[in-house]
């Protein structure tokens, strides 16, 4: 077959204006357009030294580093040497890796507050650009393994940190989060994260109308709050003795996929309202798995998976609740994206406060990536 020559030529060039990071200026253009630099510099005090670098110079450099695929502070050297991408991104003075290491350890609380404001501003801009008025909240704690310095052992036996993050499912943005030591129970302050998310969205004239949570969110204070705020929820139930007792009352089981499904009504001891308890069970051969902390060991030769929900049958059938709740796996994907995509699976310091600053810069970078997708690249 005859091959036509391609309509271009390849030539070697020694021009140092060529860059391997040509996409970064797009992110930095939106970064500037959203006023992130101004928010950071207004929120975070400038160093006392006469020639001190503004907060934005440090934080924007780290954001660029994380979006470009870097993880360690030493990786900033690659961008530092890239004069073209620095020029296109409007960065006149990029700090060294040593300077960044010292920066994230100084006056950390003011930095955290400023970065939180900047990250929230990006999320709000994405929300305001969206035509929808109500949203779904997916919230979950996730593990960051680290054996450095002040890291604590978690319930899995690993040393590290256990932050919690809440995402708007329809838009992927992170609307609220909390950085935590590894020994903090994943069930801690779930309600506060939810309340913060609801308030932030409500301030824009919109609403969180649906919530999906794992078993850490199976708490009476959360179901009570959802009822008070007219929020629909699906929550993975904890298989405590009370829940197993309710399961024992189910007489009718139907085939569902390769399992059986049954349904009953249940109420927590401190709960204000009863709710539907949808139960999937499958027969287990051999030794049954142990339950999580606070759960009873499965009995009767079955392994159970429980969903608590205040959706009534006319709103969602049993099958629809199951399929809807399965979509909370999206939050697991968000966590993976934050860790693997943005690089927060690695935290650079042995000090808790410095790692908290780095974590929040990572979430700022994550929300900026989502904003580019939503505001510049057509949405999805």
pLDDT over 80 (residue 182): yes
Residue 368 counted as domain residue: yes
Per-residue pLDDT at 292 = 46
- Is residue 256 in some structural domain? yes
pLDDT in tens, 61-108: 999 999 999 888 998 888 888 888 887 777 778 888 999 999 999 888
Beta bridge partners of 233: 211
pLDDT at residue 204 greater than cutoff 50 = yes
Q: Give the tens place of pLDDT for each residue, 141-151.
A: 999 998 888 88
Within-domain flag for 265: yes
- Answer yes or no: is 211 within a domain: no
| CA 47 – CA 167 distance, rounded (Å) | 33
Residue 45 lies in a domain: yes
Is 99 a domain residue?
Answer: yes
What's the whole-number mean pLDDT along residues 104-123?
93
Query: How confident is the model at residue 286, as a pLDDT?
Result: 58
Q: 215-240, pLDDT tens digit by residue?
A: 999 999 999 999 999 999 999 999 99
Domain end, chosen from 296, 317, 338, is at: 317
In a domain, 135, yes or no: no
Nearest to 143, CA basis, from 164, 124, 123? 164
pTM over 0.85: yes
Q: How many independent structural domains does the chain possess?
A: 2
For residues 265-288, give the mean pLDDT: 88
The reply to whether 190 falls in a domain is no
String of b and e for 246-260 (b: at least 16 CB within 10 Å)? bbeeeeeeeebeebb
Is residue 35's pLDDT more than 90? yes
Residue 64: which domain range? Answer: 24-112+349-376
For residue 120, the model assigns a pLDDT of 96
Of the residues 293, 317, 341, which one is the last residue of a structural domain? 317
pLDDT at residue number 52: 66
């Amino acid at each position: 077959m005859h091959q036509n020559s391609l309509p271009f030529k390849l030539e070697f060039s020694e021009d140092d204006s060529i860059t391997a990071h040509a996409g970064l200026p797009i992110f930095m253009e939106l970064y500037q357009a959203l006023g992130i630099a101004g928010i950071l510099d207004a929120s975070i005090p400038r160093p006392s030294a006469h020639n001190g670098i503004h907060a934005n110079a440090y934080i924007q450099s780290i954001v660029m580093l994380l979006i470009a695929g870097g993880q360690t502070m030493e990786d900033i050297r690659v961008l530092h040497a890239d004069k073209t991408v620095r020029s296109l991104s409007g960065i006149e003075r990029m700090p060294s890796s040593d300077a960044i290491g010292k920066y994230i350890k100084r006056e950390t609380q003011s930095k955290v507050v400023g970065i939180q404001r900047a990250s929230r501003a990006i999320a709000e801009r994405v929300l305001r650009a969206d035509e929808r008025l109500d949203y779904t909240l997916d919230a979950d704690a996730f593990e960051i393994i680290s054996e450095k310095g002040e890291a604590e052992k978690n319930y899995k036996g690993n040393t590290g940190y256990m932050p919690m993050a809440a995402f708007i499912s329809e838009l992927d943005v992170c609307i609220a989060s909390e950085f935590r030591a590894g020994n903090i129970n994943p069930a801690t302050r779930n309600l506060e994260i939810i309340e913060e998310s609801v308030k932030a969205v409500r301030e824009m004239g919109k609403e969180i109308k649906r919530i999906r949570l794992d078993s850490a969110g199976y708490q009476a204070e959360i179901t009570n709050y959802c009822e008070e705020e007219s929020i629909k929820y699906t929550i993975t139930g904890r298989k405590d003795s009370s829940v197993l007792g309710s399961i024992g009352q189910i007489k009718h089981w139907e085939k569902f996929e390769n399992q059986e499904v049954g349904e009953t009504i249940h109420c927590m001891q401190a709960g204000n309202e009863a709710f539907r308890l949808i139960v999937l069970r499958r027969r287990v051969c051999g030794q049954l798995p142990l339950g999580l902390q606070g759960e009873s060991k499965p009995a009767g030769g079955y392994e159970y998976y429980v969903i608590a929900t205040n959706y009534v049958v006319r709103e969602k059938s049993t099958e629809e609740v199951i399929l809807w709740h399965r979509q909370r796996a999206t939050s697991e994907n968000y966590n993976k994206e934050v860790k693997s995509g943005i690089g927060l699976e690695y935290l650079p310091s042995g000090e808790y406060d410095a790692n908290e600053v780095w974590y929040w810069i990572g979430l700022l970078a994550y929300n900026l990536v989502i904003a580019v997708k939503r505001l510049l690249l057509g949405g999805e």
